[in-house]
Amino acid sequence: MIRVFLCDADNQNILHQKQMIEKAALENNIPVTIKGFSTGDALEFEISEKPASADIIYIDVQIQPKNGIETAAALRKCGCNSEIIFYTDRSENVFNSFEICPFYYLLKSRTSDDKFEKVFLHAAQRAEKKRTDYFICEFHGVQKLMAIEDIMYFEIWQRIIAVHCYKQNTITFYGKLEDIEKQFKNKGFMRVHRSYVVNPDFINEVSNQYLKLRDGEDVPVGNSYAKNVRHQFENMFVHKV
């Protein structure tokens, strides 16, 4: 499901964008949800609560009270990693948008339906790929987004899962370690203990009792997992060599 936010002061513009996106999504078998906002403040409030709630955001530069550039900057500041597309009539702001790292800058009067569709499809493709590279979790209504390559291991204690990332703060959320194990199995993560799932890229040393990680941490290895852990680690080393 691709989640799209549209921010434009003109409801007719929002309706037109929604129709074009729905048409492109239907023709290309892409499930979408679309939500509209008439002000930058409303959009910013939504994103500040859940930074990962949108995959693609279309913003008109001429929204109020903050303009589109200011709004997009605020979204980036609160951790929004969405594909931002400026869709506007104001061409003079294109250079000011660069520091926001937008996906595209479209001029309404010069963008054909075909061009709009191509940009949407490319953004949707990027959003799907990004989802495979990032992990999203939620705790007390606050969403956190982290790069999978930075996750060292997951640890569970009384239904609270802690995500330990390399040189970053630990993040917690409610969940089941069995679900994490299934979700990350195809990314190479290993179940090494009833309470731990580890990213093997961070393992420096393996024994029957513990794993020594790159940052010096020790993670225990359960007796029933020890043989499989050593076997997986040896196979990984052979493939890398």
Distance, CA of 105 to CA of 118 (rounded, Å): 13
Q: How would residue 239 be classed by pLDDT, with cut points 50, 70 and 90?
A: very low
Question: Who's near 202: CB < 8 A, 6+ residues apart?
Answer: 152, 153, 166, 213, 214, 215
Domain 148-240 has CATH 2.40.50.1020: yes
Q: How would residue 226 be classed by pLDDT, with cut points 50, 70 and 90?
A: confident
CATH fourth-level superfamily of 2-135: Response regulator (3.40.50.2300)
Ordered by start, the domain boundaries in the chain are 2-135, 148-240
**Among 146, 77, 94, which Cα is nearest to 85's?**
94
Distance, CA of 214 to CA of 25 (rounded, Å): 44
* Cβ pair 148, 135 in contact under 8 A: yes
In tens, the pLDDT along 14-38 reads: 999 999 999 999 999 999 999 999 9
